Amino acid sequence: MKIKTRFAPSPTGNLHFGNIRTALFSWLFAKKNDGKFFLRIEDTDVLRNVEGSVKNIIKVMKWLGLNWDEKIYFQSKRLYLYKKIIFFMLKNGFAYKCYCSKTVLEEKRNHQILNNEKPKYDGTCRNIQNSNFIFNNSFVVRFRNPLKGYVKFFDEIRGIIKFKNSELDDFIIQRRNGMPTYNFCVVADDLDMKITHVIRGEDHISNTPKQVNIFTALSANVPKYAHLPILLDENKKKFSKKNNNNDFFKYFEEGFLPEAMLNYLVRLGWSHGNKEIFSIDEMKNLFSFKNVSKSSSIFDKKKLLYLNKYYINNFTNEKIISLLKYYFEKENIDILNGPNVKKVFKVFKNRCFSLREIVICSSYLYKKCVNFKNLFLVKCNKKKFLIILKVVYFNFKNIKIWISSEIWKTIQLISYKNNFSLKKIIYILRKIFTGKSSSPSISKILYLIGYAKVIFSLKKFIFFIIKKFF
Ligand code: GLU
Ligand code: ZN
């Protein structure tokens, strides 16, 4: 039997880590077993749909390479299927029309709550034999849930899960407005799409017995289930689609690599010995539900950053450089206006945790002129400052081959011959050329800025100091 899984998000907001982890595990399980993976948008609850969500889902899945088979399934376009099955269920007594008014149902419910009972439909319409005498056209359709016995299903992570039928009620499968409900549509689709494994968050466990009972009523094979443990955010709260901060796609904008994201996600609740780094092929080969934990995991941004840095440093330069271009453009940096990106990348790659960080940290290399204001950041006696700058200027001017080793040698020589502290020279050069207190080695930075710009700026700085202070 071909394995078939699906990711079935409701378009009620932007995808978050919990959603994507579900998608990933579902995708991996299908890939590992040479099966199929479907994307299904559960959009029948029109009032809860949020504009832009479907676009977000597609964007994220494409970015991560979680490619789906066939077209995207939209539940809103499959109403004919649901109608057909509900008609069949009504005809065969697996479902019935309930004419109870909203007010009556509400009253009964409040009464049950008041008596500390679990609110449940009381079955008033379950046995109406002849509904012809009912003139009320407003009805919902309810599933005729078995009254006795147990409903059991197999969960790949938790083993057999059992519920008493007496704990369930005749839940609604079609609303008053004719729209089918969530629990019903899921079954209709999983059945129609021949899904073999339903992989989703553990918050769905309580829905599963209802769904299993519908499968059974329809004499269909019940799929296997895998309910994944909950994922908590850094504040140990459940991830929510309503919180815009959780938007998964913002990690693309922040300069994270899809491989790092997937590697991070796969380890949230799944392990393979002590292994931490997984290529996508390794994940596909090694993934199994056996090693999925039952307890919740907590999001840890530090670990994600560490993995991103790992991938930035372990992919080919060419690959990263082609990706970097987007982030330079986004910051309005013209890379033709400065050092070669490959050289810049080599100098910055092991200091930065994301592609965007590389761009932000190296942005000063692409400014037309060295920032004049940097001069005012230097804390140093003006006389000494001027002397050092002059010596540096003349010595740098004479460098024949502008490479960082020569620049470094020259700086050391300046310090030695003139009895200037090496630290001080470096401090001054770093401040005036980068404006920052930390940077890659100053000789590499000066090399990247280039001979002409360094010499020109030093000269300008010297004139300015003389004019201003002397
Ligand atoms: N639409 C459901 C959700 O977004 C998923 C249902 C399922 O996977 O069965 O939580
Ligand atoms: Zn009723």
pLDDT tens per residue, range 356-382: 999 999 999 999 888 889 999 999 999
Are the C-beta atoms of 458 and 392 separated by less than 8 Å? yes
* pLDDT score of 298: 94
**Helix, strand or coil for residue 40?**
strand
* pLDDT score of 131: 64
DSSP state of 270: B
Element (H, E) at 22: helix 17-32
Cα first-last separation, the chain: 87
* pLDDT score of 135: 65
* pLDDT score of 43: 93
Nearest to 432 by CA among 405, 460, 399: 460
* pLDDT score of 130: 67
Amino acid at 334: D
Structure tokens at 358: 């590389």
- Give me the half-sphere count of Cα atoms (radius 13 Å) on the Cβ side of residue 15: 26
Q: Is the pTM of this model over 0.95?
A: no
* Calpha distance 294→176 (Å, rounded): 39
Are the C-beta atoms of 396 and 385 separated by less than 8 Å? no
Round the average pLDDT of the chain to a whole number and report it. 95
Looking from the CA of residue 12, the nearest atom of ligand 1 is 4
* Calpha distance 312→318 (Å, rounded): 11
Structure tokens at 436: 């920052």
10 lines ligand 1 (CB under 6 A): yes
CA of 102 to the centre of ligand 2 (A): 10
Element (H, E) at 253: helix 250-253
* pLDDT score of 240: 83
SS (H, E, C) 288-320: CHHHECCCCEECCHHHHHHHHHHHHHHCCHHHH
Structure tokens at 306: 């560490």
* pLDDT score of 246: 81
- Give me the half-sphere count of Cα atoms (radius 13 Å) on the Cβ side of residue 341: 20
Q: How many CB atoms lie within 10 A of CB 436?
A: 13
* Calpha distance 463→465 (Å, rounded): 6
- Return the ligand number nearest the Cα of 48: 1
* pLDDT score of 366: 95
Looking from the CA of residue 207, the nearest atom of ligand 1 is 9
Structure tokens at 367: 């400014």
8 lines ligand 1 (CB under 6 A): yes
CA of 18 to the centre of ligand 2 (A): 37
**For a pocket test of ligand 1, which of 7, 200, 240 has the largest count of ligand atoms closer than 8 A to its C-beta?**
200
Residue segments in the chain with a per-residue pLDDT below the cut of 70: 130-135
